[in-house]
């Protein structure tokens, strides 16, 4: 360990102490303990250009223990990214680019938002999948366009999370040789010693998954050993590698090696002690020795050289493979093929009823062959979710003979949460639009990750079938009630429950053109008729009249398979002397974004509105004055009987429509869309 490396490591440690102290909030322990790992990885290995953080050929680094982000911010500063000492002094303040946990859209050089434990390692698995896929798709003899490693730093917390277990098991199966996990084995969690609750043999567990495992006994001081282990890991290309590195949390602090340094500033006197121990001037804050800055220049130089070489190679590639090259450029710049809208199926009312999951399959069959950036699969429900298009090839290690890395259909296994977190990583890699599928009810298993799709602006398609009590016999354990409320209440997503073929096509189109947020499709198991006035364009408005009438006395608004109920009830009520407007509402969020005038043209002021949706009525008061829907769990039985049991049938909608009109006689039905602010 050269003196300058020791100096660099201790610079990171003292900076981390200062950063957290200044913000008076944060986690100094992990940054101080992981400084040797971070220094070694960034200084010796990571190939990236701080002046162009989005360079496609870069190595990826993920901080899965996101609470240690002071560490990552410090490294970004030292490596020459757009993070200054002044920025470090704004850590965890409003207006800072350095939030309390890493957010990919806040800070140049941050690949994914982490902090919720277990997510980052799964994102890294997704990135390694993406790399393997892009390499298999675009690399040619003499043209290694894709060839990066994915490094991920993680701690005991991440290793206890189930989402991690799902993703690392799949990573072993997929033989992702360019994934290198660095395990900060510090024996401490927030509650105290890992002996309290976490005594499994991590190495053996990862071996069971098919990972290569390495151990560094002294991660506090032995930089050579860390470096040697990473070199070995890079050379093992048929398996992912985890390097368990024994460290001391808060190394240098008087409370080193205890939970006391995990989540609170060290305090001024301990910082004086730390700086003294490492030979730093205790009176200097946020100090980076000039020689350490000098030492880190290699990072930017290396990255810029590599990018220059890569750019030259890609120019030659363009000349030799112009179509592939332009397709790749199109993909990484988030441009869709020009004809994508024309590819989407369209329907008329004379077309046969179909389940919306089946209509989704038709879209995939029509679009997937022309949209090479679309990759994904199901959490072991392929034949139920209908997500495998006819020409799909599996993404598999070639040795399995079940597919290869150029395949785009991912067999996620029964791993919903891991699937969603992996999709986040695939999208973060660039040039790919991932999708994941399961039953709508089991998005509940994955919300920890799908929430991060929303927060982190990931364009992901969640294909969620069996979307209500309409799944019938499987019963209440499988019948979603609250899931749409969850998705709709979470910011920055689009939740679709399309009524028919045109709305399914519209939902896909919206999902493809909205490249800064995920879309969730709630799709039916049972058939739905093709309705009048539905279209892609109307779907993009979120809600619109499928049956209009000049002076409605009632509005019935439906979604998905219940839109046809709204339609038939509306017909009967109109005939019975209650002119009824029928609104289809495939997407609340898109509707919310329409101008107020449009919203009030759909939900006219003075007209009571009744909603019909075979899931929880919670949230529907935003649009409608009364509801037909679920307020309890469902039941196991043939689906028409289940619908009847809960009164979500034609007769009940008609009856409740009449009751609602009656109720508002002599009362003013202020539109729910008319708002004071």
Structure-token pair, residue 530: 């093709």
Count the residues of the shown chain that bind a second copy, applying the rule CB under 8 A: 129
CB 23 within 8 A of CB 91: yes
Q: Which helix (H) or strand (E) holds 591?
A: helix 588-592
- Which CB atom, from 68 or from 225, has the smaller least distance to a second copy? 68
- Binding-site string for a second copy from residue 492 to residue 531, where x marks contact by CB under 8 A and - marks none: x---------------------------------------
User: Please, what is the minimum distance in Å from the beta carbon of residue 456 to a second copy?
Assistant: 9
User: Please, what is the minimum distance in Å from the beta carbon of residue 666 to a second copy?
Assistant: 10
Instruction: Tell me which residues in 415-474 interact with a second copy (CB under 8 A).
Output: 415-418, 441-442, 444-445, 447-448, 451-452, 454-455, 472-474
169 binds a second copy (CB under 8 A): yes
134 binds a second copy (CB under 8 A): no
User: Please, what is the minimum distance in Å from the beta carbon of residue 484 to a second copy?
Assistant: 8
Q: Which residues of 483-513 are buried (b: 16+ CB within 10 A; e: fewer)?
A: bbbbbbebebbbbbbbbbbbbbbbbbbbbbe
User: Please, what is the minimum distance in Å from the beta carbon of residue 545 to a second copy?
Assistant: 22
- Which CB atom, from 43 or from 625, has the smaller least distance to a second copy? 625
Among the listed residues 490, 519, 524, 611, the single contact to a second copy using CB under 8 A: 490
Task: Tell me if residue 557 falls in helix, strand or coil.
Answer: strand
Among the listed residues 36, 172, 436, 501, the single contact to a second copy using CB under 8 A: 172
380 binds a second copy (CB under 8 A): yes
318 binds a second copy (CB under 8 A): no
Q: Which helix (H) or strand (E) holds 307?
A: helix 290-320
Closest CA to 359 of 291, 50, 367: 367
Stretch that binds a second copy, among 73-81, 244-252, 410-418, 526-534 (CB under 8 A): 410-418
User: Please, what is the minimum distance in Å from the beta carbon of residue 173 to a second copy?
Assistant: 5
DSSP alpha helix (H) spans, 265-401: 268-277, 290-320, 322-332, 340-343, 356-367, 382-385
User: Please, what is the minimum distance in Å from the beta carbon of residue 660 to a second copy?
Assistant: 5
User: Please, what is the minimum distance in Å from the beta carbon of residue 340 to a second copy?
Assistant: 28
User: Please, what is the minimum distance in Å from the beta carbon of residue 197 to a second copy?
Assistant: 4
- Binding-site string for a second copy from residue 45 to residue 84, where x marks contact by CB under 8 A and - marks none: ---------------------x------------------
Task: Tell me if residue 582 falls in helix, strand or coil.
Answer: strand
What's the rounded Cα separation, in Å, for the pair 182 and 42?
A: 13
660 binds a second copy (CB under 8 A): yes
Q: Which residues pair with 375 in a beta bridge?
A: 434
- Binding-site string for a second copy from residue 183 to residue 222, where x marks contact by CB under 8 A and - marks none: ------xxx---xxxxxxxxxxx-xxxx------------
300 binds a second copy (CB under 8 A): no
DSSP alpha helix (H) spans, 139-288: 156-160, 162-174, 202-208, 223-235, 268-277
656 binds a second copy (CB under 8 A): yes
The catalytic residue positions are: 416
- Which CB atom, from 269 or from 659, has the smaller least distance to a second copy? 659
User: Please, what is the minimum distance in Å from the beta carbon of residue 53 to a second copy?
Assistant: 20
- Which CB atom, from 27 or from 331, has the smaller least distance to a second copy? 27
- Binding-site string for a second copy from residue 13 to residue 42, where x marks contact by CB under 8 A and - marks none: ----------x-xx----------------
Closest CA to 364 of 335, 390, 334: 390
Residue whose entry in the numeric block shows the structure tokens 């005594």: 199
- Which CB atom, from 501 or from 629, has the smaller least distance to a second copy? 629
Task: Tell me if residue 63 falls in helix, strand or coil.
Answer: strand
CB 557 within 8 A of CB 611: yes
1 binds a second copy (CB under 8 A): no
What's the rounded Cα separation, in Å, for the pair 277 and 271?
A: 10
636 binds a second copy (CB under 8 A): yes
381 binds a second copy (CB under 8 A): yes
User: Please, what is the minimum distance in Å from the beta carbon of residue 198 to a second copy?
Assistant: 5
What's the rounded Cα separation, in Å, for the pair 511 and 507?
A: 6
- Which CB atom, from 148 or from 396, has the smaller least distance to a second copy? 396
Among the listed residues 18, 131, 161, 220, the single contact to a second copy using CB under 8 A: 161
Phi/psi of residue 494, each to 5°?
-120, 120
Structure-token pair, residue 20: 């957290």
CB 488 within 8 A of CB 619: yes
What's the rounded Cα separation, in Å, for the pair 241 and 203?
A: 10
DSSP notation for 208-249:
HTT-EEEEES-TTT-HHHHHHHHHHHHH--SS-EEEEEE--T
Distance of CA 621 to the CA centre of its chain: 29
- Binding-site string for a second copy from residue 594 to residue 623, where x marks contact by CB under 8 A and - marks none: ----------------------x-xx-xx-
266 binds a second copy (CB under 8 A): no
DSSP code, position 260: G
What's the rounded Cα separation, in Å, for the pair 48 and 121?
A: 20
Among the listed residues 642, 648, 653, 654, the single contact to a second copy using CB under 8 A: 642
Q: Say what the alpha-carbon torsion angle 124, 130, 135, 138 is, to the nearest 10 degrees.
A: -150
Q: Give the list of residues 6+ apart from residue 447 with CB closer than 8 angstroms, or none.
A: 486
- Which CB atom, from 12 or from 170, has the smaller least distance to a second copy? 170
361 binds a second copy (CB under 8 A): no
């Amino acid at each position: 360990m050269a003196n300058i490396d020791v100096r660099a490591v201790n610079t990171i440690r003292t900076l981390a102490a200062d950063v957290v102290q200044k913000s008076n909030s944060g986690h100094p322990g992990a940054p101080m303990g992981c400084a040797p790992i971070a220094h070694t990885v960034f200084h010796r290995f990571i190939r990236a250009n701080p002046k162009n953080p989005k360079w496609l050929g870069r190595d990826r680094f993920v901080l899965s223990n996101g609470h240690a982000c002071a560490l990552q911010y410090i490294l970004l500063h030292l490596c020459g990214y757009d993070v200054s000492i002044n920025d470090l002094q704004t850590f965890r303040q409003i207006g800072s680019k350095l939030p309390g946990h890493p957010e990919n859209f806040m800070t140049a050089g941050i690949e994914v938002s982490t902090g919720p434990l277990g997510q980052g390692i799964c994102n890294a698995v997704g990135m390694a999948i993406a790399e393997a896929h892009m390499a298999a798709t675009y690399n040619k003899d003499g043209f290694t366009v894709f060839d990066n490693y994915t490094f991920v730093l993680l701690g005991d917390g991440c290793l206890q999370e189930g989402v991690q277990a799902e993703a690392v098991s799949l990573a072993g199966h997929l033989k992702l040789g360019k994934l290198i996990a660095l395990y900060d084995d510090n024996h401490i969690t927030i509650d105290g010693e890992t002996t309290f609750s976490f005594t499994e043999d991590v190495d053996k567990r990862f071996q069971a998954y098919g990972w290569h495992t390495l151990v560094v006994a002294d991660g506090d001081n032995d930089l050579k050993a860390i470096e040697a282990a990473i070199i070995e890991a890079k050379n093992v290309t048929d398996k992912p590698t985890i390097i368990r590195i024994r460290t001391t949390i808060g190394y240098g602090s008087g409370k080193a090696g205890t939970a006391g340094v995990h989540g609170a500033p060290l305090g001024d006197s301990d910082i004086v002690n730390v700086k003294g121990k490492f030979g730093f001037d205790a009176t200097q804050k946020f100090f980076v020795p000039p020689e350490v800055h000098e030492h880190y220049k290699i990072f930017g130089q290396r990255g810029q050289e590599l990018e220059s070489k890569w750019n030259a190679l890609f120019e030659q590639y363009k000349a030799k493979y112009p179509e592939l090259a332009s397709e790749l450029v199109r993909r990484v710049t988030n441009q869709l093929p020009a004809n994508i809208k024309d590819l989407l199926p369209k329907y008329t009312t004379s077309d046969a009823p179909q389940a919306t999951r089946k209509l989704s399959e038709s879209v995939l069959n029509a679009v997937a062959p022309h949209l090479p950036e679309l990759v994904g699969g199901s959490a072991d429900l392929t034949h139920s979710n209908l997500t495998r298009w006819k020409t799909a090839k599996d993404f598999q290690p070639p040795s399995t003979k079940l597919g290869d890395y150029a395949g785009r259909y991912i067999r996620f296994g029964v791993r919903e949460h891991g699937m969603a977190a992996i999709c986040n990583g695939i999208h973060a890699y660039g040039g790919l639009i991932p999708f994941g599928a399961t039953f709508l009810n089991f998005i509940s298993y994955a919300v920890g990750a799908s929430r991060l799709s929303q927060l982190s602006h990931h364009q992901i398609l969640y294909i969620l079938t069996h979307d209500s009590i309409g799944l019938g016999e499987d019963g209440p354990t499988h019948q979603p009630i609250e899931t749409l409320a969850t998705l709709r209440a979470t910011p920055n997503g689009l939740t679709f429950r399309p009524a028919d073929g045109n709305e399914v096509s519209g939902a896909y189109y919206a999902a493809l053109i909205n490249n800064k947020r995920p879309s969730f499709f709630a799709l039916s198991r049972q058939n739905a008729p093709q309705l009048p006035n539905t279209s892609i364009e109307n779907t993009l408005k979120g809600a619109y009249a499928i049956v209009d009438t000049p002076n409605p006395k009632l509005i019935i608004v439906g979604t998905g398979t219940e839109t046809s109920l709204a339609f038939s009830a509306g017909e009967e009520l109109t005939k019975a002397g209650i002119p009824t407007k029928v609104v289809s509402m495939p997407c609340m969020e898109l509707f919310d974004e329409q101008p107020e005038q449009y919203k009030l043209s759909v939900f006219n002021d003075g007209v009571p509105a009744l909603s019909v949706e075979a899931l929880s009525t919670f949230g529907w008061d935003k649009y409608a004055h009364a509801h037909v829907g679920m307020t309890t769990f469902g039941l196991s039985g043939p689906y028409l009987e289940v619908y009847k049991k809960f009164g979500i049938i034609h007769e009940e909608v008609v009856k409740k429509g009449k009751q609602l009109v009656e109720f508002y006689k002599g009362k003013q039905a202020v539109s729910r869309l008319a708002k004071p602010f």
